[in-house]
Structure formats: structure tokens, C-alpha cells
Amino acid sequence: KPKLGIIMETELWPNLLHACHQKKIPVCLINARLSVKSAAGYARIASMTRVMLQQLDWIAAHGEADANRFIALGASTDRMLVTGNIKFDLELPPQLMEKSEALRTQLGASRFIWIAASTHEGEETIVLEAHQRIRVKNPEAILILVPRHPDRFDSIYQLCAQQFVTTRRSNARANQAEAAVYLGDTMGELLLMFGAADVAFIGGSLIPRGGHNMLEPGALGKPILTGPHLFNFAEISNMFVAAGALTKVSDSQSLADQVLMLMQHPEERARMGEHARQVVEANRGALAKQMALLTTYLEPSRAGKEYDFFAASHEKS
């Protein structure tokens, strides 16, 4: 018999929860997030949602807004904790900056480099229009473009090549120093490319997809730009906005304007980047808190003070 069921974020399956409840297997929902859009979806099946949430032993929520949405749908307040988001606890790989500097040297160490990461269909056209405007002011500027989905790499390469000298990360023999666009068409190297850039734009946000994770460029101390659609990262993005580390844009003109401003004002790049790094550092610790919660089930003899922490957290809520 399992000691514990662990569900990440919001993967709630009624039959699974019912079976665990029947067999008296505790279930914890950790790193739990619930956007306004998702909450509205669960509200359409309110009775089933209420039963599912009541069958959870603990919910460890990203933030107060997520916790309140879960509670509004029927979760118990006495089994709700706000622990933060474990994504803040990312660890930068050893030698990352050394590899990023090597890439920057390949592209041209003195060139201004900006990255548009995790872009979706409809966004690349906007990004490339912005890049055209940027290169009018700085013909040496280079864009690292990283589409979200690998099955679009080839079509996006063709789109870029129609307008710019474009090289691909996967083609190691290409002359990168002549490129105006560098297509990031490999897997597992986005952090490296963020490290090589001066400014980071995060996709999925110029269209209503809800945005993507901006913590990686934040941890690297990069100024962050996004579109207006950030409902999947509302709480995190609000932290960056409040700290002056993230600026929202709405179209190719405003994107180009912000990139150009940051290109022309390195002190503002440094200020935004440092504030982004501070946001990440200030919100670390969620992983340790959630592991302490799980330890009370998996290794009760070792729980000790960790259990006291969660009892105290509950008393304050």
C-alpha cells in the first residue's frame, strides 16, 4: 500500500482521488496553482470539484490568490498552506556562464543580443517586425529566437530566412558572426541562450496563451519583457512588475521601443536585471517547505521541527 500520493500543480483526477480516499492513502497537492481561467472551468463542475478538493489531505499553494481560489471551490482552509512556488528554487548548472560566454563570442561579443523565447504561432511575425525596427537603429543587433515547439523549428527557420541572414544552433558549421537571427532549434539549451543575451522576451504572452516561465532569465539577472497575456503566471509576473524587473509590451512597435531603450541604456538593463535576480532570491525556499510537509507522511520519525512549522503555519492562517 502506498504511503502517500503526490499530485503536482492542478492535475486532479476524480477517480484517482476517490480510490485513494477509499483505501485511506493520503494525497497532497503540491506546488498548487489555479489561474482565474482554470478556476472558472472547475466551477462549472462545482459539486465534483468540491468532493475532489475535500479528499485532499493538504494543498501547498503557490500564493494567497491560488489558495483563495481553491478555498472558494471547496477546499478546506485547515488543510491549506501557502508555501511559494518551487520553480523559484532552480539551480543554475555549473559552467553555465562559461558556456553562455562562449556562445556570445561566437555570435559577436560586442554585439547587442536579445532573445525571444518560447514563442508561439503568431508571435514570431511580431518579434521579427520588432527586430527589423531594432536593426534600423543598430544593424549589428542579433535576435536569438527559440520557438516553444520543436515541430515548428523548420517553418520558423524559413520565415526568418526570408527576412534576415539566419543560422541555426543545430548547424555548428554556420558562420554565426554574420547572422541577424540565430534560431535556437535544440533542446535543453534555453538557459545557455538566456545567459548569452542582454534582454529576454518571454513568449506565449503576445497571444492569449498565458505566458511562460520568466524565472530562468530572472535568476540570470536579465531584464524581462513580455506581452500582456500572463494569466498562467499572474502572481509571479506581478512580483517582477512590482520590483521594476519586467515590462509588458503589446505589439511589434512597443516591443522594439523597449528593446531599443534597454539597448541604449545599459544602466537600466543592469537595474532591471538586478531587481529580477533579487525577486528570485527573495522567494526561494518553497521546495524545502514542501519536502518538510511530505516528510511528515513518508518519514514521520524524521519530521520533527518541520511538522511544527506546518502546524504553526496552519494556526496563522
Distances in whole angstroms, Cα of residue 276 to Cα of each of 130, 228, 239, 247, 288:
23, 18, 9, 11, 22
Assess whether pLDDT exceeds 90 at residue 314: no
* Rounded Cα gap, residues 116 and 145, in angstroms: 5
Split at pLDDT 50, 70, 90, the class of 308 is very low
pLDDT attached to residue 285? 95
Assess whether pLDDT exceeds 80 at residue 304: no
CA 124 to chain centre: 19
Instruction: Fill in the DSSP letter of residue 97.
Output: H
Q: Is the dihedral angle over the CA atoms 286, 290, 62, 114 positive or is it negative?
A: positive
Split at pLDDT 50, 70, 90, the class of 313 is very low
Q: Write out pLDDT tens, residues 160-205.
A: 999 999 999 999 787 888 899 999 999 999 999 999 999 999 999 9
The lowest-confidence range among 78-92, 145-159, 161-175, 302-316 is: 302-316
Split at pLDDT 50, 70, 90, the class of 303 is low
pLDDT attached to residue 235? 87
> In this predicted model, which residue has the larger pLDDT, 212 or 302?
212
CB 223 within 8 A of CB 197: no
Full-model pTM: 0.86
Q: How many Å is the maximal CA-CA distance in the chain?
A: 66
The 224-226 sheet, strands edge to edge: 166-168, 181-183, 142-147, 113-119, 199-202, 224-226, 246-248
| Amino acid making up residue 238 | N
Q: What angle in degrees, to the nearest 10, is found between the helix axes of 252-264 and 266-282?
A: 100
Q: Write out pLDDT tens, residues 90-127.
A: 999 999 999 999 999 999 999 999 999 999 999 999 99
Assess whether pLDDT exceeds 50 at residue 309: no
Average pLDDT value for the chain: 93
The three grid cell numbers given for residue 191, joined into one nine-digit string:
538557459
Q: Is 212 exposed, middle or buried (0-12, 13-18, 19+ CB in 10 A)?
A: buried
CB 130 within 8 A of CB 256: yes
188, 241, 196: which is closest to 214 by C-alpha?
A: 241
CB 143 within 8 A of CB 229: no
Q: How many residues does the chain have?
A: 317
